[in-house]
Amino acid sequence: MSIRDVLSPFTAWKNLFRDPVTIADPLNERPGAARYRGFHKNDMDKCIGCGTCETICQNGAIDMLPVSGVPAKLGDSGLRPRIDYGRCCWCALCVDVCMTGSLTMSNEYKWVESNPDLFRFTPGVDKKHWDNAELGYQRHAEKHLTPGERVEMPELEPAARIGSFTEIVDGYSIEQAKLEADRCVSCGLCIATCPAHMAIPDYIKAVRDGDYERGVQLLYETNPFSQVCGRVCTHRCEDSCAARHEGDPIAIRWLKRHIIDQVPQEKVLELIGKPAAPTGKKVAIIGAGPAGLTAAFDLARKGHAVTVFEAQAAAGGMTRYGIPEYRLPYDALDKDIAVITAMGVDIQYNQRVGTDIAMQQLQSDYDAVMLAIGLHQGRSTRIPGSDHPQVRKAVDLLRQITTGEKIEAPKSMVVIGGGNVAMDIARSMARLQLQQHGEIRVTLTALEDKAHFLADPVEIKESLEEQINILDSRGPQACVIDDSGKLLGLKTWKVLSIFDAERRFAPQYDESDEQIHEGEMVVEAIGQMADVSLLGNELTEKLEWNRGRIQIDSNGRTSENWLWSAGDCVKGPDVINAVADGHRVAISIDSVFTQQEAKS
């Protein structure tokens, strides 16, 4: 100890002449830092109510609740996060995990209320003075907490696939599937979108857990066509996927296929078990497509005797006779059908109702009849020259390819249409051209511009890879035929615009831009309709109709109480819709039987 130790502390006195460092009114003059994790904001235009914020919040501070004025719609649950500031710890994991980037934080940190309940609020809905704050915590530009990129599906290169009808898509390996399944945030928006309401997050979890038997059980709860849907489903579920907003949607369709690919057929049968004891009820189903067979599967499992009448030589409907083998191999389809027939469903092949057996016969022989005849008649443009024998309809040609009829591929051809059927026929014919002539000369013309094509983007991409010459915005005007009656090609005009502001059809043409596309054959693939001639005049008159389609109630029952209808012929073309429809009809028929039992 020294004299310094006595004097030195007095240097503190210099602070007498310093300004105080405390600020009189700090809270009104000090904005939070640019990254400050202050009060929440939620961009209502971006929020989809997926609830990942609620899932990750370890404090249970977030509840997903309905909000008036925010209806649920495809890809949006209609729920919005309500945050309880009595629980929030401002960790911002909710912001980091947000699938759309809608949830952020402002740099505001002052909020005075006399009513403590008000600190439980719904950002973006309950207006707050920080809603327009420019600063505050934002998620890092790279999203860190959930992987954004889809595991690429291995598939055949164009050169390797164009020579044959071999399946293009390989399917995921177990490792790839696990990685892809890991990306799912289990929000369940897909379930609401899927017409069959498949338990998508649960079966994706089964992939993560490697529990494929559980996976198959989950698939069969809602869909006996997993081989089919795992390959060719229109997968609207993926359009609703929360992951699509900042990255790729989860490959739900491929994961479904992966599950069913992993489990041997015998095991599948074992897993779903035997049908119930016979009830003595008989059901006739017309059409062995996805709708008819789904209902057949459900009804057979309940113990009802099901007979399916199929006009063709094999089952599957449009999935067999419309979809080319390179997208859906017949043996995959056969596996799904084998499970259905194993339930005791009797399929009568080559039995065309209306020709080989009358509707009235079915009505009197069976306790219920279901009509699931699909859309097997092709529409025609009926432009001049469209009655030429070399002007064909896509559905007819596709059916011929499936049945193995010999088709003389034209050296050059034009396809009219921009939907998936147009792509299917163009690509199928391209394969035949290559086999028969060694070169591909297919032109595809569509009314729509590329941005509004009805076909899946992947179909367009693969068609282009397979050398299909796709011309968009072309309106067909005439099939050009020379004096000797030989078809030369198709004349089209340029379409300037096809839809009006309400996205309804209102085409405008540039007649000066006229082209003739060379083709020894023209194939029309613009649309299909149901062939309802089997009903006969009497039944047609008896039935109620709705804009050209048989009118059904929400259970698929027609105005005739013995007749139900389902699938494409009443709902328009889509496999998974047909499956969902089949379930509905099966439930309805079964409950009618139950009521009949109760009465007797």
Partner 1 sequence: MSEASIERLKSKTTLKDILEVATEFERTARDFYAALAPKVQKNLRYLVQELAEEEQRHYDLFTQMAERDDLEQQLQTEVERPVNDHKFSDCIHLPDLGEQPDDQAVLQYALKREHAAMEQYHSLAQSTEPGAIHDLFLYLANEETKHKNELEKVYYETVHSGGV
Partner 2 sequence: MAYQPDRSQYPQKKADGTLDIDLASGKYLKLWQGPQHPGITGNMAIELTVCGDEVVEGKTHVGYLHRGFEKLMERRTFMQCFPIVCRICVPEPDFNEYCYAAAVEELAGLEVPELAHWIRTLILEMGRINSYLMYLGGQAGAFGQGVIGQWTTYVRDLMLDRFEELTGARIYHMFIIPGGVRDNLPEGFAARMETTLQEIESTLGDVERVMFHNAVFKKRAVGVGIIAPELLDSYGITGPNARAAGVAKDVRKDQPYLVYPELDFEAVTGKDSDIYTRADVRRRDLLLSIDLIRQILVKMPKSGAVMTKLPNVLHWKIPRGETYIRGECSRGEYGYYLVTDGSGYPRRVNVRGPSYTHSIALFERLVVNANISDVAALLVSLHTYPPEIER
Q: Per CB under 8 A, does 193 bind partner 1?
A: no
By CB under 8 A, residue 412 contacts partner 1? no
User: Between 96 and 574, whose beta carbon lies closer to partner 1?
Assistant: 574
Report the residue from 128, 379, 388, 494 that binds partner 1 according to the rule CB under 8 A. 379
Smallest distance from partner 2 to CB 425, Å: 41
- Cβ–Cβ < 8 Å for 83, 40: yes
Residue 508 found at the interface with partner 1 (CB under 8 A): yes
Sole binder of partner 2 in the list 41, 80, 82, 183 (CB under 8 A)? 183
What are the φ and ψ backbone dihedral angles of 280, each rounded to 5 degrees? 90, -5
Q: Which of residues 260-289 bind partner 2 (CB under 8 A)?
A: none
Please, which of residues 214-243 interact with partner 1 by CB under 8 A? 234
Cα separation, 74 vs 531, whole angstroms: 32
Report in angstroms how near the CB of residue 546 gets to partner 1 at its nearest: 8
Structure tokens at 163: 């020579």
Closest CA to 399 of 519, 319, 293, 337: 319
In terms of phi and psi (left: phi > 0; alpha: psi -120 to 50; beta: otherwise), the region of 396 is: alpha
Beta strands in 75-229 (DSSP E): 79-84, 103-105, 120-121
Q: Which of residues 135-154 bind partner 2 (CB under 8 A)?
A: 137, 140, 142, 144-147
Question: Which option in partner 1, partner 2, none does residue 515 bind, with CB closer than 5 to 8 A by kind?
Answer: none
- The interface with partner 1 within residues 510-539 (CB under 8 A) comprises 511, 525-529, 532, 537
Residue 74 engages partner 1 in binding (rule: CB under 8 A): no
Of all residues in the chain, what percent are helix, strand and coil, respectively (each to 5)? 35, 20, 45
Of 160, 280, 355, 545, the residue at the interface with partner 1 (CB under 8 A) is 545
Q: Is 140 among the residues that bind partner 1 (CB under 8 A)?
A: no
Amino acid code (one letter) for 352: R
In angstroms, rounded to a whole number, what is the distance separating the alpha carbons of residues 54 and 56?
Answer: 6
Residues 558-587 interacting with partner 2 (rule: CB under 8 A): none
Residue 574 binding partner per list partner 2, partner 1, none, with a CB distance cut-off of 5 to 8 Å that depends on partner kind: partner 1
Site for partner 1 in 437-456 (CB under 8 A): 447, 454-455
Minimal distance, residue 566 CB to partner 1, in Å: 17
d(CA 338, CA 37): 58
Using the rule CB under 8 A, give the single segment among 3-11, 230-238, 537-545, 587-595 that binds partner 2: 3-11
Q: Is 589 in the site for partner 1 (CB under 8 A)?
A: no
Amino acid making up residue 508: Q
Q: Which of 158, 210, 280, 384 binds partner 1 (CB under 8 A)?
A: 384
Nearer to partner 2, 109 or 330 (CB): 109
* Dihedral (Cα; 545, 547, 550, 556), 10-degree rounding: -110
Q: Which of 446, 422, 447, 444 is nearest to 498 (CA)?
A: 447
Regarding 58 and contact with partner 2 (CB under 8 A), the answer is: yes
Q: How far apart are CA 39 and CA 105, in angstroms?
A: 5
User: Which residues, 6 or more positions from 358, have their beta carbon under 8 angstroms from its beta carbon?
Assistant: 536
Does position 477 interact with partner 1 (CB under 8 A)? The reply is yes
Q: Which residues of 484-517 are buried (b: 16+ CB within 10 A; e: fewer)?
A: eeebbbbbbbbbeebeeeeeeeeeebeeeeeeeb
C-beta separation of 182 from 210 below 8 A: no
For partner 1, the binding residue among 120, 214, 411, 549 (CB under 8 A) is 549
Residue number with CB closer to partner 1 (372 or 550)? 550
Residues 90-119 that bind partner 2 (CB under 8 A): 90-93, 96-97, 105
**Using an 8 Å Cβ cutoff, are 481 and 488 in contact?**
yes
Q: Classify residue 562 by burial, with Cβ atoms within 10 Å: 0-12, 13-18, 19+.
A: middle
Interface region with partner 1, contact rule CB under 8 A, candidates 64-72, 240-248, 363-371, 500-508 = 500-508
- 540 lines the binding site for partner 1 (CB under 8 A): yes
Q: Which of 108, 466, 472, 574 binds partner 1 (CB under 8 A)?
A: 574
What number of other Cβ atoms are within 10 A of residue 158's Cβ?
13
Distance between CA atoms of residues 127 and 125, nearest Å: 6
Residue 50 engages partner 1 in binding (rule: CB under 8 A): no
Size of the residue set binding partner 1 (CB under 8 A) = 52
**What separation in angstroms does the CA of 258 have from each of 151, 166, 177, 320?**
13, 18, 7, 21
Is 11 or 364 the residue whose CB approaches partner 2 more closely?
Answer: 11
Contact string 295-314 vs partner 2 (x = CB under 8 A)? --------------------
How many chain residues bind partner 2 (CB under 8 A)? 43
Q: Does 483 bind partner 1 (CB under 8 A)?
A: no
559 scored as a contact of partner 1 (CB under 8 A): no
Cβ-based nearer residue to partner 2, 107 or 294: 107
Residue 311 · residue 201 · CB < 8 Å: no
**Closest CB 64 distance from partner 2, rounded Å:** 15
- Range in contact with partner 2 (rule: CB under 8 A) among 52-60, 320-328, 377-385, 483-491: 52-60
C-alpha atoms less than 13 angstroms from C-alpha of 246 in its C-beta half-sphere: 19
Q: Which residues of 123-154 are buried (b: 16+ CB within 10 A; e: fewer)?
A: bbbeebebeebebbbebeeebeebeeebbebe
Q: Which stretch binds partner 1 (CB under 8 A): 50-58, 77-85, 217-225, 417-425?
A: 417-425
10 vs 505, beta carbon nearer partner 1 = 505
Residue whose token pair is 């199929």: 310
Is residue 352 within 8 A of residue 534, CB to CB? The reply is yes
Binding interface with partner 1 (CB under 8 A): 234, 375, 378-384, 394-395, 417-422, 447, 454-455, 475-478, 493, 495, 504-509, 511, 525-529, 532, 537, 540-541, 543, 545-550, 572-574
Binding interface with partner 2 (CB under 8 A): 1, 4-6, 8-9, 11-12, 15, 21, 32-37, 52, 55-56, 58-59, 89-93, 96-97, 105, 137, 140, 142, 144-147, 182-186, 205, 208
